[in-house]
Structure 1
Amino acid sequence: MALPRRALAGPDDIAAVESGGEEWARRCGLINSGDARHPLRRLCAGELVSHGYPHADTGIRVLITQWTMWYFHLDDHFEDGPAGTSARAAEEAAEPLRRMVDAAGRREPLPAAEDSLQRALSDLLSRTAQFMAPVQFREFLAHLDDYFTSLVIESDYRARGNLPGVDAYIALRRDTGPVLPLLDFVEQAESVRLPARFYGTPEYTEMIGCAADIASWINDLCSVSKELDRPDAYNLVVLLHRLEHKSLQDAAAETLERIEQRVRSLKAALDRVSGPSGPYNDSETAAIRIWADGLLSFQNHVEWYLRHGRYDRDEPHPEVPA
């Protein structure tokens, strides 16, 4: 699978991004101890973001790093904490977050935050609205809401001890990781604005959906060792192994082939809109091409998986709020 390769930011720059993320997390209360092994310190989110958004300036990467830390914290709250024990508990945890997103979409004052998770989300939403065009911000908020919905659905599967079928998993997986809202920042990272009329088109939906699937399945390939021993494993490789009785090697090979097919589909959608008979003018086409290149460059965050042990079997359980 050939992806665009770009130079990684220097170590001092990455350190500044990490520092911006940690200071914010402490200020919001997501990090509430001096333990160097706190999950959000060990995450090295600034390095992950620097791999995935190599053209982004430092300020944008700090903001994306803060979002990334929030997503990982929320994911752990659902996967290993009380929010994931039932669909009802998950919905109760998601509801105040939905209210904040809904208020942000209406450009109304956000509801008062009741805990560190909500306080951090309120801060992020307020600052992100300043960077995104209205049409982009609406798309971003829709992706956030879909993410919350998918966490509730996944929690229900886990609580009932059920595994989704492969097709159902693929449909759900696009939203269960916060990949789509992270991909929404590609415009800021690449310093381009997509044509407003491009949003919602079949090609836009195909391209960003393919990019989300690619990133999600890369995650699945890298997290097999973590998920393999779980009875409620939500991982494409493990599901192919368990439900379709493939060897792990064959399941991984099929997952990689699915990734390569999504890369081809993304590029085919780009060709449809950027050819000489496409509906966009030269500057609009150039912006779409740069954005598409950014969608693929985002996949280079796989380098972070190869350097860090979040998905090792011996990874300690994260601290999650009660």
Structure 2
Amino acid sequence: MPAFPHSTSSTTTAIAVPPALSLPVIETGFPRQLHPYWPRLQENTRSWLLRQRLMSADKVAEHADGLCYTDLMAGYYIGASEEVLQAIADYSAWFFIWDDRHDRDIVHHRPAAWRRLRFRLHRAVGAPKEQLRHPDPLVAAFADSVLRLYAFLGPRWNARFERHFHAVIEAYDQEFRNRAQGVVPTVEDYLELRRLTFAHHIWTDLLEPSAGCELPDAVRKHPAYRRAALLSQEFAAWYNDLCSLPKEIAGDEVHNLGISLIHHQGLTIEEAIKDVRRRVEECISEFLVAERELLRFADTLADGSAAGRELSFAVKTIVANMRNWFSAVYWFHHESGRYRVDSWDDRSTPPYVDNEAGGEK
């Protein structure tokens, strides 16, 4: 069935999901929503990519809409103000482009370029104002998006985001070293690393400005909240692995749950796909249990005070968006040109990437 009764990009029609990737429970039980700001979000992010020089004009024209990066965010952070959603969408588009630069630096054996970028990003997340005019567009655009995100809540949230992103950078560095050395992590090591390279904490952090509320630690650290948040992110990471396995095998990747299962547990490709799919399906069923527990907890926060009612409402909004993440991720993988590896001229080289190191020949 189609994700929407109408197209969300100029090229999207009813999507035929391959049987190996089809999840009927998502298609029927997790109705997809789309933020009403989406058409302008797409247009504004496209303009931002050009203004920040993150993609060339011809690549923006040919690929930006079809990559569906704004669709993903517009299907997740429902209820966010337009300003918040725009900042998140621009940051998300940047994140995908950073991921591509990281990949190209590995493929083209550019450890020095990656090392420079790594340290520049560490500086930028801590002091974004100082990096707004950095000559590397990837650094300047990151500083721009982070500075906007830092305006919505307060210093405690900002410090948490900064701490979480420092960890993401270091996880990307570990992935760089693993791939450069041909090291396939064990399943356990991979799952731990994946929670960082997929930025589980970052996307969960961004649920708070979307709801217009910085959650107290007693809520964020409550077992029901942590469990629901983790399951929504694990689903996304593992479903991504399921969908991107052909692309990553073609690109000599070593970071994919399926690849770790093949390498360390002796599974065939078919067996690995079945195992990853089982984990994905378990995430869905376990989330449904965790969702009910978190909603019950949210009810207890409404203690009769205005602050309690507001906090309870914010948590329920966040729970609804955790649920939205399942459908947004699912349909993104079948709409986005990022995963249509069979249509690429070179299965190991995405047509939307720039193979140059940032500002360096």
Query: TM-score, normalized by length of structure 1?
Result: 0.84
**TM-aligned CA deviation for residue 124 of structure 1:** 1.1
Change (3 A) 1:163 1:187: same
1:7 to 24, 27, 33: 33
* Alpha-carbon separation, structure 2, partners of 1:69 and 1:321: 18
* Alpha-carbon separation, structure 1, partners of 2:288 and 2:301: 17
Please tell me whether residue 290 in structure 1 is matched to residue 317 in structure 2.
Answer: yes
**TM-aligned CA deviation for residue 254 of structure 1:** 2.1
**TM-aligned CA deviation for residue 30 of structure 1:** 1.0
Change (3 A) 1:54 1:278: closer
**TM-aligned CA deviation for residue 215 of structure 1:** 1.1
Query: TM-score, normalized by length of structure 2?
Result: 0.76
**TM-aligned CA deviation for residue 54 of structure 1:** 3.6
* Alpha-carbon separation, structure 1, partners of 2:278 and 2:74: 27
- Asked if 1 retains the 8 angstrom alpha-carbon contact of 2:50 and 2:60, the reply is no
Change (3 A) 1:223 1:206: same
Counterpart position of 2:190: 169
Please tell me whether residue 110 in structure 1 is matched to residue 110 in structure 2.
Answer: no
Deviations 1:107-163, CA, capped at 9 Å, x for gaps: xx5346232111111111211111123333222222211111111000000000111
Gaps of 5+ in 1: none
SS at structure 2 position matched to 1:52:
coil
Change (3 A) 1:236 1:142: same
My pick for the range that moved more, 265-274 or 305-314, is: 265-274
- Asked if 2 retains the 8 angstrom alpha-carbon contact of 1:83 and 1:90, the reply is no
1:316 to 317, 336, 351: 351
* Alpha-carbon separation, structure 1, partners of 2:297 and 2:202: 31
Counterpart position of 1:245: 266
Change (3 A) 1:116 1:127: same
My pick for the range that moved more, 72-81 or 32-41, is: 32-41
Counterpart position of 1:214: 235
* Alpha-carbon separation, structure 2, partners of 1:79 and 1:154: 10
Counterpart position of 2:87: 63
Deviations 1:206-227, CA, capped at 9 Å, x for gaps: 4433322221111111112211
* Alpha-carbon separation, structure 1, partners of 2:290 and 2:322: 13
Counterpart position of 2:11: none
* Alpha-carbon separation, structure 2, partners of 1:276 and 1:44: 34
SS at structure 2 position matched to 1:80:
helix
My pick for the range that moved more, 88-97 or 278-287, is: 278-287
SS at structure 1 position matched to 2:253:
coil
One-letter amino acid matched to 1:8:
L
* Alpha-carbon separation, structure 2, partners of 1:85 and 1:113: 24
* Alpha-carbon separation, structure 2, partners of 1:291 and 1:28: 31
| CA RMSD in angstroms, aligned pairs only | 3.0
Change (3 A) 1:242 1:230: farther
Q: How does 1:229-268 map to 2 (within 5 A)?
A: 229-263=250-284, 265-266=286-287
Count of aligned positions: 316
1:150 to 168, 171, 186: 171
One-letter amino acid matched to 2:340:
D
Change (3 A) 1:93 1:138: same
* Alpha-carbon separation, structure 2, partners of 1:205 and 1:320: 38
